[in-house]
Amino acid sequence: MTQKTDFNFFHPLRVRWAEVDMQRVVFNGNYLLYFDVAFTEYWRATGLRDPLGQQKSGKELFVRKAQIEYHGSAGFDDELNIGVRCAKLGRSSMTINIAIFRGDDHLIDGELIYVYADTQAKKSTPIPDAWRERLAQVERVKPEGV
């Protein structure tokens, strides 16, 4: 069971009008948009170079697999907190766990698997050591009482 204390990083986000559908809840596909926004902020927080800005190096992150579990639903103007953590680092892949909370309500669980790839050769390429070190650092120490 996912808990707030599983995460060292949270990004706050308020639900926009256009993201809500006729069922008066956020359209199910928009959570992947939220995941993307939260992952961008997580990455910024690590201080590592933007993986998408590295287009000159010809290496970029691509999503290989995404999974979402909907436990509850967010509505218009809700203030959400999105927890993000790097759960696993493979040779060229990275597993990111995400959970969305509204206050103490746990609404959404998600998982994104990214692959780091050479865009010319269209082949996966090793994740840089600098990322590996920094991400280990970021995720090692759990804060006491988030």
**Which residues are 42's β-sheet partners?**
none
Between 59 and 127, whose beta carbon lies closer to its own copies? Answer: 59
Distance CA 66, CA 124 (A): 18
Distance CA 65, CA 124 (A): 15
Between 44 and 142, whose beta carbon lies closer to its own copies? Answer: 44
Least Å from the CB of residue 13 to its own copies? 10
Between 73 and 146, whose beta carbon lies closer to its own copies? Answer: 73
In the numeric block, which tokens belong to residue 84?
């993000």
Query: Which of 4, 6, 48, 76 touches its own copies by CB under 8 A?
Result: 76
Q: Please, what is the Cα angle at 105 between 16 and 27, to 5 degrees? A: 35
Query: Which of 4, 6, 46, 70 touches its own copies by CB under 8 A?
Result: 70
Distance CA 146, CA 72 (A): 22
Least Å from the CB of residue 22 to its own copies? 6
Pairing of strands 123-124, 105-118: antiparallel
Between 5 and 28, whose beta carbon lies closer to its own copies? Answer: 28
Q: Is 116:127 a contact under the CB 8 Å cutoff?
A: yes
Query: Which of 29, 58, 90, 126 touches its own copies by CB under 8 A?
Result: 29
Query: Which of 16, 88, 123, 142 touches its own copies by CB under 8 A?
Result: 16
Q: Is 95:104 a contact under the CB 8 Å cutoff?
A: no
Residue ranges binding its own copies (CB under 8 A)? 16-18, 20-24, 27-33, 35-37, 40, 50, 52, 60, 62-70, 73, 76-77
